[in-house]
Every structure is written in structure tokens, then in C-alpha cells.
Amino acid sequence: MHIYLIGMPGAGKTTLGRNLAAQLGRTFLDLDEAIEEAAGKTIPQIFEEKGEAYFRELEAETLKTVSFSAEKLVVATGGGTPCFHQNMAFMHAHGLTVYLKVSPEVLAERLLASDLSARPLLKNKTKPLVMKYLRETLRERATFYEQAGIIFENPSVQLTAGASLAAFINRYESTA
């Protein structure tokens, strides 16, 4: 059973995923990186040259490919992964989903301090538009995210604070 981290852009799926994998002695896999490798293009290039619908197909396909790994992985998905092509049901069938739940205000703060050009759905947006996008998108996606096996509210950057991690593993073991 794999562990799939889900949540909005800026929630910390990639950053926390690396830490969590190291803590659990698992291999970490970033789905966006796997998509880039498969396509031989960056995420912004895929969006620009082929559009979002093509990206979503590639994303669903790559999610399946990486999930066939015999090794137990910690997978950082992309923000939209749970919301397309029945990916949430697929992840439930192949592992434990963990929602990193972070408010649009905190997401905006982090994202505006980072390089937005790597995130095609956010790039070229001013602060008020980033806020608007995050609020509206979260409203649309929440029904998918909230189906997660575990919901972590405002996870610390290490995701290792004793009680949280213990609860995480216990719950995981009992569902594995």
C-alpha cells in the first residue's frame, strides 16, 4: 500500500512528502516529476503545448504506472490529481490518501513567495487573483480532498511531530 499526499498547490505535498518518506524509510516519488520524465517536457511546457486535458490524461496514466511499483512509496500528487479520471478511487484502491489541509490565506502566502512560473494555473496572476483562484478552486476540490483516509490540518513542515506521526502510522497500519 502506498501513501498518497493530496491537497492544494502550496500545501506542502512535495516538501513534506520527502521528509515523511525519509522518516518511514520509504522511497519518495513526486508525480509531477514522473510526468515530466515520461513526457520529456516540463509541466509548464505540457500545459502550454498540449493543454490541461492532455496533462490530466498523462497524470492519470502516470499515477497508475508509478502505483504498480512493488516498493511501498510515498507519492506527492499534484493539486488536481484527485479530481480527474477517477484518480481518487484508484488511490483508495492502492493505498492510503492523506489530505494536507491548509487555508487559502496560508497557501497564497507561500506560493507568492515561491516561483509561480513552475505552476501554470497560477503564473502571471496578481496577489488578489491568486487568492481568488485558491478560494474558488478549493471550494470545487474540497469534496474530493475530504474523502481522504487521513486529514492533516496545517501540518508542520516536517510532518513528524511525535503524536501526529504516530497517529498517522497507526491508522495506516490498521488499514493496510
Ligand X SMILES: Nc1ncnc2c1ncn2[C@@H]1O[C@H](COP(=O)(O)OP(=O)(O)O)[C@@H](O)[C@H]1O
Ligand Y SMILES: O=C(O)C1=C[C@@H](OP(=O)(O)O)[C@@H](O)[C@H](O)C1
Give the interface segment with ligand Y, choosing from 65-73, 93-101, 116-124, 126-134 (CB under 6 A). Answer: 116-124
- Contact mark string toward Mg ion, 8..27, x via CB under 5 A: -----xx-------------
Which residue ranges make up the site for ligand X (CB under 6 A)? 7, 9-16, 76, 110, 114, 155-157
Residues between 117 and 136 with contacts to ligand Y, criterion CB under 6 A: 119-121
Instruction: Considering the complex, state which of residue 96 and residue 111 has its C-beta at the smaller distance from Mg ion.
Output: 111
Minimum distance, C-beta of residue 166 to ligand Y, in the bound complex (Å): 27
Q: Detail the residues annotated as belonging to a binding site for substrate.
A: 32, 56, 79, 141
Instruction: Considering the complex, state which of residue 109 and residue 171 has its C-beta at the smaller distance from Mg ion.
Output: 109
Ordered strands of the 95-101 beta sheet: 27-30, 73-76, 2-6, 95-101, 150-153
Judged by CB under 6 A, the number of residues near ligand Y is 11
Minimum distance, C-beta of residue 107 to ligand X, in the bound complex (Å): 8
**Options 3, 4, 14, 102; binder of ligand Y; rule CB under 6 A:** 14
